Amino acid sequence: MDKHPSVYLVRETDADPDRHLLYLGELSTLDGLRLLEPSTRSTTFELHQSSEPVPVPAVHDVAAAIAFLQAEEHIDMVDFNATLEGVGSLSTHDDGECHFRVRGLDQVRELIKKSAPEQHAESLMAALLAKPNHYLTLTDGEITSFASFDAYLASEK
């Protein structure tokens, strides 16, 4: 992967079967989809431009979703939602914030391995598990933790 997320977060909720949330900041919808197997089946696929839904053809798997988004690159996407068989879901906002909801930490681990720089994926995963609900950045191999998104944003100024 050429571009890596700028910030990572893992959060667990007890109420939802897809209870592990993985947030990947500054990662496009296309890049988020590319982390998945192309044959992964999609049961829902929705796009919103401003507050308006975008008409989409029947999209039944990740490969078709990628092809559609590449062909329709003029769409000014605000929100994207897909329910993915065997995975959970992917939602994005402003085409730069990927939110995966998955059932198990093994799925989180696979997504981290594919999205983070290869040499730092394991240490990043360990840090995410040690600091759930914290936003983590990775710069030149150094992991920095932020207790809130606002604290992360303040560090970027």
The reply to whether 81 falls in a domain is: yes
pLDDT digits (tens, 9 = 90+) for 15-61: 666 689 999 999 999 999 999 999 999 999 988 887 677 788 888 99
Domain presence at residue 1: no
**Per-residue pLDDT at 58:** 84
Say if 62 falls within a structural domain: yes
Answer whether residue 13 is part of any domain.
yes
Return the structure tokens found at 37. 């197997």
Residue 146's pLDDT is 97
Whether 157 has a pLDDT exceeding 80, the answer reads: no
Q: What is the mean pLDDT of residues 65-80?
A: 88
pTM over 0.85: yes
User: What confidence tens digit (pLDDT) does each residue in 107-139 have?
Assistant: 999 999 999 999 999 999 999 999 999 999 999
Q: Using DSSP bridges, classify how beta strands 79-84 and 52-53 pair: parallel, antiparallel or unpaired.
A: unpaired
Domain count for the chain: 1
Task: Find the domain containing 136 and state its range.
Answer: 7-151
Residue 133: beta bridge partners?
Answer: none
Q: By C-alpha distance, which of 111, 88, 104 is closest to 41? A: 88
> Is residue 46 assigned to a domain?
yes
Stretch 82-110: mean pLDDT, rounded? Answer: 93
Asked if residue 3 has pLDDT above 70, the reply is yes
Q: Is residue 2 part of a domain?
A: no
- Residue 157, in any domain of the structure: no
Establish if 156 belongs to a structural domain. no
Three-state DSSP string of the chain: CCCCCCEEEEEECCCCCCCEEEEEECCCHHHHHHCCCCCCEEEEEEEEECCEECCCCCCCEHHHHHHHHHHCCCCCCCEEEEEECCCEEEEEECCCEEEEEECCHHHHHHHHHHHCCHHHHHHHHHHHHHCCCCEEEEECCEEEEECCHHHHHHHCC
